[in-house]
Structure 1
Amino acid sequence: MIDVAPLPLRTASVPRETAFSHMSRLAAANKVDLREFGFELGIPFQRILNGERDMIRILALLGGTDHECLQHWSGTKLEGRRHELCGEIYPAKTIRSPEIRGCPICLKQDASSSERSPEHSMAIRGHWLVPHVTICLAHEHPLVPLWRETQPFARYDTVTQFRSIAPAIVAGEFDREIRELTDFDKWLEARLVDGPGNGWLDLQLLIVTEN
């Protein structure tokens, strides 16, 4: 049993938020550098990125959020350069791509619904990491590239990354033309949330093979 009390200063997690996004925002809420935050609390950022269950559970307790949700939408590092995310197995380079995508409408809503600054409020959702996901079902808005960073620590320090682009997101500069949802979009959403169903397509693995 892990005995950890929630931090006095914390920020509510967003539905489907990844652990790395939540940790970055939690560190910012406590006015601490992300690396120092992890060191002081015994949850190194790399172990959060690896999806280690005990580390994500501690992070969830510190932030006062649901650890099972954080785990489901964050991904777990496996042997053989693979990652598990939402019950599916992917090559690491597809889930840990240098490019981070997102829905600008979701991000604008994050900013408008919080008293904190936009870069402290905007959160990365786990399903945005799945290469097959190309659209936000809530807003019918295509996912757009937010930033590209080859260095993992910098890539996933979301508060730092959003600091330079949040004003443009709020101003609508990342907005694109909405498009109609396809049956595949809806099927994939259901699979990521509830797991495979009983149809023929559900028997197939969601794997992007490495070249």
Structure 2
Amino acid sequence: MAVRAGLEAEDLIEMISWTGKPIGDVRMEFRNEVFVSRALRNPQMRGCPVCLREDAETHPVGAAADQAMRGDWQFREVNLCVRHRHPLVDFWREQTQEKRYDTGPRLADIREKISGGEF
């Protein structure tokens, strides 16, 4: 996938650093720091609706693919967007990781609510 996208090695490393890499049974490396896995892998997906609204406004013709979940929203202890100081809101809850992180369809489902300011 990285080859098809034309990612350089350092770009791939940067992208993976925002994903989190398991380093044992209950620990992960995230942005060169070690965390307990549950601090990062939460079934509740939260985020800043202001960031996502800005994403949608920047790419109004595109679909939810133009919106991006941010890595700093993953931490359970984080409650505010670092950019907007807006409270993070619950977007969806999903136990299955494959469904939880399939953000395209999920963001498409809530795009109108985000654009309309419901969150």
Is TM more than 0.5 here?
Answer: yes
Could you tell me how far apart the structure 1 residues matched to 2:36 and 2:110 are? 29
**2-side partners of 1:64 and 1:120: how far apart?**
18
Secondary structure of 2:45's match?
strand
- Answering whether residue 106 of structure 2 is matched by residue 164 of structure 1, we say no
**Any idea what the Cα deviations from partners look like across 1:104-125, whole Å, max 9, x if unmatched?**
01001111111312x2211111
The residue aligned with 2:4 is 62
Pick from 67, 70, 76 the counterpart of residue 125 of structure 1.
70
| Separation in structure 1 between the aligned mates of residue 50 and residue 104 of structure 2, nearest angstrom | 18
Matched, 1:95 2:40: yes
CA distance in 2, matches of 1:152, 1:72: 18
Q: Which has the higher strand share?
A: 2
Letter in structure 1 aligned against 2:76: P
Q: Which 4+ stretches in 1 moved above 6 angstroms?
A: none
Q: 2:62 — aligned with what?
A: 116
Aligned length: 115
Q: Name 2:80's counterpart in structure 1.
A: 135
Q: Please give the residue correspondences for 1:24-35 in structure 2 after superposition, counting only pairs within 5 Å.
A: none
Quote the residue 2:30 is aligned against. 85
Summarize the alignment of residues 8-23 of structure 1 with structure 2, pairs less than 5 Å apart. Answer: none
Q: What CA distance in whole angstroms lies between the structure 2 residues aligned with 1:94 and 1:132? A: 8
TM-score using structure 2 length: 0.86
| Aligned residue identity for 1:155 | R
Match of 1:152 in 2: 97
Q: Which amino acid aligns with 1:67?
A: L
When normalised by structure 1's length, the TM-score is 0.51
CA distance in 2 between partners of 1:166 and 1:69 (Å): 27
Q: After TM superposition, give the deviation of residue 98 of structure 1 in Å.
A: 0.2
Quote the offset at 1:130 in angstroms: 1.7
Cα deviation, residue 68, structure 1: 3.0
Which of 1 and 2 has greater Rg?
A: 1
Gaps in structure 2 of 5+ consecutive residues: none
String of CA shifts for 1:5-59, please: whole Å, max 9, x gaps. xxxxxxxxxxxxxxxxxxxxxxxxxxxxxxxxxxxxxxxxxxxxxxxxxxxxx43
